[in-house]
Amino acid sequence: MESILVIALAVIIVIALILAGAPIAFAFGVAVFLPIYILGHPTTYVVPGALKLLESFALLAAPMFIIAGLLMKEGLIAEKLLDFINSLMGWMKGGLGAVTVVTCGVFGAISGTSAPAIAAIGSIVIPRMTAEGYSRGYATGLVACSSLLCLLIPPSVPMIIYALVAKESVAACFLTTIGPALLIIINYCIINHFVCRRNPNIKVIQMSQKQRFAHIRYSFVWALPSLTVPFIILGGIYGGVFTPTEATAIAAVVALLIGFFIYRSLTLKKLGETLVDACATMGTIAIMFFFIFMFSRFLAWERLTDKIVALIFGFTTNKYVILMLLNVTMIIMGMLMDDASGTILSAVVLLPIAEAAGVSALQFAAIVGVNMGLANVTPPTAPLLYMAGRIGGNLPLSEYIGPATLFMIAGSLPVLIITTYIPAVSLFLPHILYGYPLQ
């Protein structure tokens, strides 16, 4: 019990440090070294093992997807995708809102992260939506919530992180979040339809059928290089041509070639800035991984996960109640930290509890993915929500929190409940491709 209380104190301290503005990686370091110091354990057991785990080849996937996402933001890939999808759906009332949702999903199949999607798609679509009669607050809230699809549609950096920490197949974890992502896309488009139907200010661009087909052909030709990227990445992974880690390098190279030689929007200066940003981001993630690998070895040493499981099952053995408590914990955790931190903590601390309740590590990957996506737009931390506000013209939170809350509660929350209590939603693709059980 003493060790559990020490761990609880460390978690409280790390959350307080993050809220106070301390660097996240070093806040994790405090959370790791504090219980080791208080309980009087030497570091000779945890440090060498953590350093060894950092040598994992799969860990290379995270920086490469970060580089690919940033290159795609600068390389006009998002703009060409948006133009093509808009040519297909933009003719109906509220079509541009649905285009935003679908484009974020498609962009997620290329970039693996959400921030480039908000920067690339939001900077284009928010002014367009405003010009067509949408309120700027609604457009901003929709972009913010739609960006979480980039964390669910594979390849996904959070799922790479989860797979590494949970010691699961990266490719299988990718598949678990496709079902929830598709449900969120459908939900968001339905909500957008009903909201826009009652808004008389929204304009519909009038085109003849001949003009529409010409627009579709033109935009398709320009979007074709961008559309081939997800087929190359996902087709290569699941066709057995290359591993997920190798796919990340291919994605970065393809984005580089498209930006330089096809759309000609990339420059050497932008490439240098992209590499610097990616290195800074990956440096933070690598330090976090080091401390979390230390923490996981410390948990194994103290058998703390067994003690936590016994403590929770002492209160209730009902699987559905335990899953509800885990979801509430992850939502609160995600509200206070970024998706990478929340994903790591969920895999280390909460996964053993879920497995003890009869939930597979793969289904829990989808539950974590939806939770962390939702948490990224849920205040007080909400990095994606605030970033969308800046892209939308430095709007005050009061202008776009209402629309964002609508999509969170009516769009994402039902999908979280379905993903939690209906395993087949997340496991049907791993079952079909790899033979994993549906429970």
pLDDT in tens, 86-111: 887 777 777 888 888 988 888 877 77
**pLDDT band, very low/low/confident/very high, at 313 (cuts 50, 70, 90):** confident
Q: What is the pTM of this model?
A: 0.81
Q: Who contacts 201 (Cβ-Cβ below 8 Å, separation ≥6)?
A: 133, 134
Q: Are 252 and 71 in contact (CB under 8 A)?
A: yes
Q: What is the pLDDT of residue 187?
A: 95
Is the same domain home to 71 and 100?
Answer: yes
Is the same domain home to 32 and 146?
Answer: no
352 domain residue, yes or no: yes
Is the same domain home to 114 and 173?
Answer: yes
Is the same domain home to 281 and 292?
Answer: yes
Is the same domain home to 150 and 10?
Answer: no
CA distance 303 to 324: 24
Q: What is the pLDDT of residue 344?
A: 79
Q: What mean pLDDT is predicted for residues 287-309? A: 71
Domain total of the chain: 2
Q: Are 181 and 400 in contact (CB under 8 A)?
A: no
Q: What mean pLDDT is predicted for residues 352-357? A: 88
Q: In residues, how long is the chain?
A: 439
Element (H, E) at 435: none
49 domain residue, yes or no: yes
Domain residues for 191?
A: 42-434
Higher-pLDDT residue of 414 and 216 is 414
The winner for highest mean pLDDT among 23-27, 32-36, 255-259, 366-370 is: 366-370
Is the same domain home to 11 and 47?
Answer: no
Is 58 a residue whose pLDDT tops 70? no
Is the same domain home to 24 and 120?
Answer: no
Q: What mean pLDDT is predicted for residues 200-207? A: 74
284 domain residue, yes or no: yes
As a whole-number percent, the residues of the chain with pLDDT over 70 amount to: 87
Is the same domain home to 395 and 373?
Answer: yes
Number of H helices, E strands in the chain: 24, 0
Q: What is the pLDDT of residue 413?
A: 93
Q: What mean pLDDT is predicted for residues 389-414? A: 87
Q: What mean pLDDT is predicted for residues 396-424? A: 91
CA nearest to 290, candidates 39, 49, 15, 7: 49
Q: What mean pLDDT is predicted for residues 158-186? A: 89
Q: What is the pLDDT of residue 19?
A: 67
| Tens-place pLDDT, residues 180-189 | 999 999 999 9
CA distance 58 to 149: 23
Q: Are 178 and 153 in contact (CB under 8 A)?
A: yes
Is the same domain home to 270 and 302?
Answer: yes
212, burial (CB in 10 Å: exposed 0-12, middle 13-18, buried 19+) = middle
**pLDDT band, very low/low/confident/very high, at 229 (cuts 50, 70, 90):** confident
94, burial (CB in 10 Å: exposed 0-12, middle 13-18, buried 19+) = buried
Q: What is the pLDDT of residue 24?
A: 65
Is 334 a residue whose pLDDT tops 80? no
The residue type at 395: L
**pLDDT band, very low/low/confident/very high, at 409 (cuts 50, 70, 90):** very high
Element (H, E) at 357: none
Is the same domain home to 14 and 77?
Answer: no
Asked whether the bond before 383 is cis by omega within 30 degrees of 0, the reply is no
Q: What is the pLDDT of residue 183?
A: 95
Is 367 a residue whose pLDDT tops 90? yes
The winner for highest mean pLDDT among 11-15, 32-36, 108-112, 397-401 is: 397-401
Is 150 a residue whose pLDDT tops 80? yes
439 domain residue, yes or no: no
